[in-house]
Structure 1
Amino acid sequence: MKVKICGLMDSETALKAAEYGADAIGLVFAESKRKVTPEKAKDIVSVLPAEVLKIGVFVNETKEEIERIASIAGLTHIQLHGEEPASFCQSLSFPVVKAISFEGNEALSEITQFPTDYILLDGPKGKYRGGNGIVFDWQQVNTSYLEGKKVILAGGLHLENVEEAIQIINPYMVDVSSGVETNGIKDLTKIKAFIEKVKTLPVGGKR
């Protein structure tokens, strides 16, 4: 099972996350308490191994600005967390992760028609589009809609609930941010424990 640590803001923490086994790191360029500048993101990306995915998080941003930031920072993937249409995904020159705040299976069936390999399932919208640490009811998700997609599961995951979440959704990757923080700051002990737990869990293999 793959792990993404999102909302990283410094090189030291990002490097440690990679050393602990993180497969992807998320850098937030949308309005958020975890927002970083393109230049700071470049510093973070520069210390990471090549095989770690560097995913930039954007909300309703212009194509030009996304491409500009991605080029400066050295991103490998773009995560779209707003109302971006399918045509917008196709217009970008980077692989896209399309995020959806799960609010029912009707919207889920529409989002899976997007021309992207990755779908990120997140909790309900809060103050920000993502990173709100809000769990949703995984049992409500009709996973048959997700066949053929690499599903990244986010939304309030932490050490105590990630095993249940994986058993129900069987995602390609799990995404954690607030669940590995203490007082709003990334906690290396929690990051290490979370990654170690996920890496030891059995994978169902449906996707």
Structure 2
Amino acid sequence: MGQGSVERDPKDREPRARATRIKFCGLTRPEDVDLAVALGVDFIGLVFAARSPRRLDPMTGAALRARIPDRIATVALLMDASAAEVGAVVETVRPDLLQFHGAEPDAFCAGFGLPFWKAIAMGGDPDRALAGLGSFPHAAAFLFDGHAAGEPGGGGQRFDWTRLPDTLERPFLLAGGLDAGNVARAIATARPWGVDVSSGIEQSPGLKDAARMRAFVEAVRCADGDGAPRS
């Protein structure tokens, strides 16, 4: 599958030729953020969704965000939050990108002065989910996740990667049940612009495992032909 005609996300500061971007999501501890930075991931996701076991309050999120250098984009994940709640995260955390997992319409997602990614729930009716992509003309990218519509991400659910369309006009990330053991196969099958992992690098929800983090990055770099991870 091709990666579409768009090669860069607005916050991809150091694009690597044909490399798969890596997002670590649901980080809650300073040491996990520091290791993600050392491993050279492209995006770090902080979760502010009410129903997530990895949920942060804005002040804790801001403290973690302060540890992330400019070369790595900070992504704030939200789900069906009010405009006031999203605004508080934007003001306090200062993320580079927003990622929406709920029923938020395009105009709402685009209303906070930041690029946004729209998560597409592939765990229920993939055809219906894909039919709705046109409803988000302002999305900078799509994130195809394995959870069902109305459910939060991060649960480790996989979906059939072959159900994705052959071409997309915008970048997309693959999420849902990825780990070091299957991410190379996922990249070969779906040819995503990026991959997003949370539970696949954890000891338990929100507590990342250093060995799994390293193994995931190494697996992606090897799948791209880049060898060992940068550290």
TM-score, scaled to structure 2: 0.82
1:71 match: 91
Q: Deviations over 1:147-178 (max 9, x none)?
A: 22110110000011111111111111100000
Amino acid at match of 2:60: K
Q: Deviations over 1:24-80 (max 9, x none)?
A: 111110121111111111111111111111111111112222122122012111100
Deviation at 1:125, TM superposition (A): 2.6
Whether contact under 8 Å (2:121, 2:129) holds in the other structure is no
Please give the alpha-carbon distance, in whole angstroms, between the structure 1 residues aligned to 2:101 and 2:79.
5
Amino acid at match of 2:160: D
The structure with the largest helix share of the pair is: 1
1:168 match: 189
Whether contact under 8 Å (1:159, 1:179) holds in the other structure is yes
1:95 match: 115
Please give the alpha-carbon distance, in whole angstroms, between the structure 2 residues aligned to 1:21 and 1:78.
20
Whether contact under 8 Å (1:45, 1:54) holds in the other structure is yes
Whether contact under 8 Å (2:21, 2:195) holds in the other structure is yes
Amino acid at match of 2:126: G
5+ residue gaps in structure 2?
1-19, 226-231
5+ residue gaps in structure 1?
none
Matched, 1:2 2:24: no
Pairs within 5 Å for 1:14-163: 14-30=33-49, 31-102=51-122, 103-114=125-136, 115-125=138-148, 128-144=151-167, 147-163=168-184
Matched, 1:197 2:219: yes
SS at 2:95 equivalent: coil
Whether contact under 8 Å (1:112, 1:119) holds in the other structure is no
2:200 match: 179
Please give the alpha-carbon distance, in whole angstroms, between the structure 2 residues aligned to 1:96 and 1:165.
24
How many pairs were matched up? 201
Whether contact under 8 Å (1:105, 1:141) holds in the other structure is no
- What's the % identity of the aligned pairs? 32
Superposed CA RMSD in Å reads 1.7
Please give the alpha-carbon distance, in whole angstroms, between the structure 1 residues aligned to 2:159 and 2:89.
31
SS at 1:54 equivalent: strand
SS at 2:216 equivalent: helix
Whether contact under 8 Å (2:103, 2:150) holds in the other structure is no
Whether contact under 8 Å (1:112, 1:149) holds in the other structure is no
TM-score, scaled to structure 1: 0.91
Deviation at 1:202, TM superposition (A): 2.7
Where in structure 1 do 4 or more consecutive aligned residues deviate above 4 Å? Answer: none
SS at 1:148 equivalent: coil
Deviation at 1:105, TM superposition (A): 2.7
Please give the alpha-carbon distance, in whole angstroms, between the structure 1 residues aligned to 2:215 and 2:149.
27
Amino acid at match of 1:24: F
Please give the alpha-carbon distance, in whole angstroms, between the structure 2 residues aligned to 1:41 and 1:66.
13
Whether contact under 8 Å (2:102, 2:150) holds in the other structure is no
Amino acid at match of 2:217: I
